[in-house]
């Protein structure tokens, strides 16, 4: 039986992905800051982990030990807000969670799989990493960093002949608490549908998966817009 650990499973996409893997018969351990919300998922084990804390890797390894191993590490933690006024607290908290927290946890899983000799790392990044988005500078910058970090680790794993797979999940706007508020986001996706596509991408060992087809077209167009034009676009 395969074993998966999902960090950021207390709500939204992480919660839905955890439920799907449990339904498929996986042994699933879940972690998040809000421990009370994890108790209702039906996972084999739970752990309270704040990815911004220095002890987060130690807690992850404790969860791995209790679960009896790990075949898949799925990372769904993250924060993000529009910050048109560039409020310092918002920018720094975003970098701490999406930058330092991401690096801390992905690195911990990578080292475990390198020692084990095999494993699969999947992480939710975002289409926001495709271009610098003026309304959310730190968010789009940290998502680009996540894209490149996973790409670099994949190259390193191949150079070291490590049997570690990577799946970079890049959703568009998803109807979760992260995007709650007065601003109306276009082309909103349902977390249940996104979770199904994520599980399929992991099962089929996709390297990068943009969700869904509308966002695959959108990001393809974004990549082709010259910088001199992009800077003049009002978002």
pLDDT at 7 (0 to 100): 97
Per-residue pLDDT at 181: 53
The per-residue pLDDT for 185 is: 63
- Does residue 59 form part of some domain? yes
- Using alpha carbons, select from 199, 192, 163 the residue that is nearest to residue 176: 192
DSSP 47: E
Q: Which two tokens stand for residue 134?
A: 């003026």
- Helix locations, 39-174, DSSP H: 56-67, 88-94, 102-116, 137-159
CA dihedral 166, 149, 87, 33 (to 10 degrees): 40
pLDDT value at residue 157 = 98
CATH assignment of the domain containing 170: 3.40.50.720
From edge to edge, which strands make up the β-sheet containing 3-7?
A: 45-48, 27-32, 3-7, 72-75, 118-124, 163-171, 208-211
Q: What is the pLDDT of residues 144-169, one digit of tens each?
A: 999 999 999 999 999 999 999 999 99
Identify which of 24, 207, 29 has the alpha carbon closest to the alpha carbon of residue 120: 207
Res 19: pLDDT: 95
pLDDT at residue number 164: 98
- Total structural domains within the chain: 1
Query: 43 lies in a domain?
Result: yes
> What pLDDT, on a 0 to 100 scale, did the predictor assign at position 186?
65
The low-confidence residues of the chain, meaning pLDDT below 50, are none
Which whole-number Å values give the CA distances from 147 to 3, 58, 169, 180, in the listed order?
25, 25, 9, 24
Question: How far apart, in whole angstroms, are the C-alpha atoms of residue 116 and residue 97?
Answer: 27
- What is the domain extent for residue 140? 3-230
Answer yes or no: is 92 within a domain.
Answer: yes
Q: What pLDDT was estimated at residue 36?
A: 84
pLDDT at 176: 63
């Amino acid at each position: 039986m395969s074993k998966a650990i999902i960090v950021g499973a207390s709500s939204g996409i992480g919660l839905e992905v955890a439920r799907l893997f449990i339904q498929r018969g996986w042994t699933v351990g879940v972690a998040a800051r809000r421990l009370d919300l994890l108790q209702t998922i039906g996972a084999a084990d739970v752990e309270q982990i704040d990815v911004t804390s220095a002890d987060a890797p130690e807690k992850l390894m404790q969860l791995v030990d209790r679960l009896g191993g790990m075949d898949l590490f799925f990372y769904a933690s993250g924060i993000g807000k529009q910050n048109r006024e560039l409020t310092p607290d918002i920018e720094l908290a975003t970098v701490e969670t999406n930058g330092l927290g991401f690096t801390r946890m992905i690195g911990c899983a990578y080292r475990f799989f390198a020692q084990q000799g095999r494993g699969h790392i999947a992480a939710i990044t975002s289409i926001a990493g495709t271009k610098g988005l003026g309304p959310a500078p730190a968010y789009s910058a940290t998502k680009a960093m996540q894209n490149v970090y996973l790409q670099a680790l994949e190259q390193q794993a191949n150079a070291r002949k490590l049997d570690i797979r990577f799946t970079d999940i890049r959703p568009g706007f998803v109807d979760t608490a992260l995007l709650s508020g007065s601003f109306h986001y276009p082309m909103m996706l349902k977390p249940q549908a996104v979770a199904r596509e994520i599980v399929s991408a992991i099962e089929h060992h996709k390297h990068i998966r943009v969700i869904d087809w509308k966002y695959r077209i959108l990001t393809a167009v974004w990549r082709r817009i010259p910088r001199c034009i992009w800077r003049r676009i009002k978002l």
